[in-house]
Amino acid sequence: MSKTLFPFFLLFFGFVKSQNITVDDTYTPAQLVQDVLVNNGCIQISNVSVSGGNFSNGENSFGYFNANGSALPFAEGVLLTTGKLSSAVGPNSNFSDDGTGMNWTGDSDLNTALGLSNTFNATVLEFDFISNTSQISFEYIFASEQYLSNPSPNQCSYTDGFAFLLKPVGGSSYQNLAVIPGTTTPVRVNTVRGNGTICPPANETYFDAFNTGNYPTSFDGQTKILTAEAAVTPGILYHIKLVIADEGNARYDSGIFLRAGSFIATKNLGPNRLIATGNPLCPSEILTVDATEIGATSYQWFENGIAIPGATNPTYTINHTGDFSVDITINANCTLTGSIQIEAAPTLNINQDLYVQCDTNFDGLDTFNLAAIQNTLFTSLPTGFQIAFFDSPTSTTPLATNFTTSIPYQQIIYARVTNIQNCYGNIPVTLKVNIFDKVFTTESVSLCSGNSITLSAPLGYTAYTWNTSPILNTSSILITAAGSYTVTITDANGCTNTKTFLVTSSEAATIIEVLVNDFEENLTAQIHVQGNGDYEYALDGGLFQTNPIFNLAEPGEYQITVNDRNGCGLSSISFFALSYPKFFTPNGDGFNERWRIENLDKKGLENSRIYIFDRYGKLLQQILASGDGWNGLYNGQMMPSSDYWFVMELTNGRTVKGHFSLKR
């Protein structure tokens, strides 16, 4: 271990000034116990002994100390160390590391109490006593050079041992009073340590500080003031042994500072009722404190150090915050003191216990932020109060901060103050989930080119917000362009839902052409259109169909109508389907007298040529498509009933061949 020495010139010019403790090792053991440590008439002391290091210069490892106006919390008292008493004197730039190589042994009772086997340099102060009351206590500070401010990792486990061992005289085993309050853990360097070094902190509440060079003792750190206490039987002879020793080796001294006059007989009035310890006085609770002590001749109660008039009974009733104490007179030489600190838990005023949210997936369930709810649950939550939420009054498992309800629409959970015992119980909190009353489907809308259209959201809601630029807040809007339009709809509960309109542009069709397979056995017409619409087709006023191909029963003139199913208009066109007659009857009755192909001129084919042959391939007649056709004569002679063939050379370059019948 190393310490930083202050430069001489600082000391010389007085820039650093501090007071150090003083020590005196000339006190007899009886004086240390009777006159310094005890010094009251409620405890009778006997059989005092002390042992420690046998230093060659006659110095002791125990004795009296005085704070000498320094920062040490105790004004005076008894000091037991594992080195020379004088080595404990500050400043902290000194290094207390005595007792090596002098055969200074440890202590077997300390080993047993702490489960050790390797203690050295034990200093022991022990005595017998009889108490007039049922409670004894004394105050102490543990200090050590092993509270290193800059340790290496292997030094984190270094720790000296000490114990305050108590048993009835003749008893078989000791009770160790030097423990962390509320536990059985012995107070040591590695069980009470602050943070700030590489060694892990432990029970920081009870650690005071790592000391700087101007501290009034030589020790590198110490605990806060701790109290050792025990219940005893009045009139019974007890033995107490105060022992401290180095562990592992004789290096790095430690010390126990015992406050002068602190070994007293006290009256235990029960645990303090504090918010910090979770047991304050609950609202409307009345606490009766009983100080009854056998042999007492009088009682006087105090509140905050001031005597309470008329409060002279063994019991006192408390219903509010304060520091209460009682003086119990046993005899002229013995007055006991008992004290209890009371804090009252405040009344918690509920600010809000109903929380409402809107569901977005229509199942009546939603996730609530319980941390945010905690902040608004009470009008004001006292500092240090810890709130948790549970799904039932008997549950012991807190709910997650982001809690998803499991009961649709409304669920009650329970808030509890978890660090205050038995004051508030379960506080019901209602989580309500509202849902929007309707599911909206996406609606497809057509907009005719050059026109406008009104998009209308469902009516009966409180607010509307469209995703337009600028944003519109009406239930309906007029649009002139295709696109996706979404309106956010808010209901009376503040819940929202959205409806989307997919607007597509549409227009009446432009008919490009009608393709007919003229002169085929099965006549068809296929309509070709152009336009940004959704079209259907009808032939000669018939039913509309989505297929643009029609079967034609016979040649002739037809009309096609094309309708935009989005309502943007109709388009129509007439066309001709061409075919040839399958027979003719030149019998003089005036009907079907000539074989002729009609309507060729409607398609600009009137100049086409037609050649007629008999069954043997003999050319009988050549005619123009625009002429009157064939009358069934060849060289003025009537041709017989039979099948005849033709070849038609169309002016569009196509050649059509077929046959027909002549019937008489």
**pLDDT (tens digit, 9 = 90+) per residue, 277-321?**
889 999 989 999 999 988 899 999 999 999 999 999 999 999 999
Query: Which residue shows structure tokens 């203690």?
Result: 119
Among 196, 195, 215, 74, residue whose Cα is nearest residue 144: 215
Q: How far apart are CA 252 and CA 272, in angstroms?
A: 37
Token digits for 87?
């080595």
Buried (b) or exposed (e) across 500-519, using 16+ Cβ within 10 A? Answer: ebebebbbbbebeebebebb
pLDDT, residue 17, reads 44
Q: Which amino acid is at 121?
A: N
Look at residue 2 and tell me whether its pLDDT is greater than 60: no
Work out whether strand 583-584 and strand 655-662 pair parallel, antiparallel, or are unpaired.
parallel
pLDDT at residue 6, rounded to an integer: 36
- State mean pLDDT over 331-357: 93
Q: How far apart are CA 189 and CA 177, in angstroms?
A: 16
Residue 315 half-sphere exposure toward CB, CA atoms < 13 A: 6
- Structure-derived torsion over alpha carbons of residues 633, 635, 641, 647, reported in degrees to the nearest 10: -80
Helical spans, DSSP H, in 337-390: 370-377
Q: How confident is the model at residue 15 (pLDDT cuts 50, 70, 90)?
A: very low
Question: Following DSSP, what letter does each residue of 96-150 receive, concatenated?
Answer: ----TTS--B--HHHHHHHT-S-EEEEEEEEEEEEESSSEEEEEEEEEETTS-SS
Cα–Cα distances in Å, from 369 out to 341, 374, 389?
37, 9, 11
DSSP sequence for 138-154:
EEEEEEETTS-SS--GG
- Tell me what the mean pLDDT of segment 574-590 comes to: 94
- Render 425-442 in DSSP notation, one character per residue: --EEEEEEEEE-S-PPPP
For residue range 37-88, list pLDDT tens digits in order. Answer: 997 888 999 999 999 988 888 899 999 999 999 999 999 999 999 999 999 9
User: Residue 655 carries which side chain, given as an amino acid letter?
Assistant: T
Distance CA 77, CA 602 (A): 134
CA 278, CA 423: separation in Å to the nearest integer? 10
Going 618 to 624 to 628 to 629, the CA torsion angle's sign is positive
pLDDT at position 156 over 60:
yes
- Give the percent of the chain with pLDDT over 70: 97
pLDDT of residue 9: 33
Name which of 150, 152, 175 is nearest 165 in CA terms. 175
Residue 203 and residue 191: Cα distance in Å, rounded? 7
Mean pLDDT rounded to a whole number for the chain: 92
pTM (whole model) above 0.85: no
Q: Domains of the chain by range and CATH?
A: 19-265 (no CATH), 271-342 (2.60.40.10), 354-435 (no CATH), 443-506 (2.60.40.10), 510-577 (2.60.40), 583-662 (2.60.40)
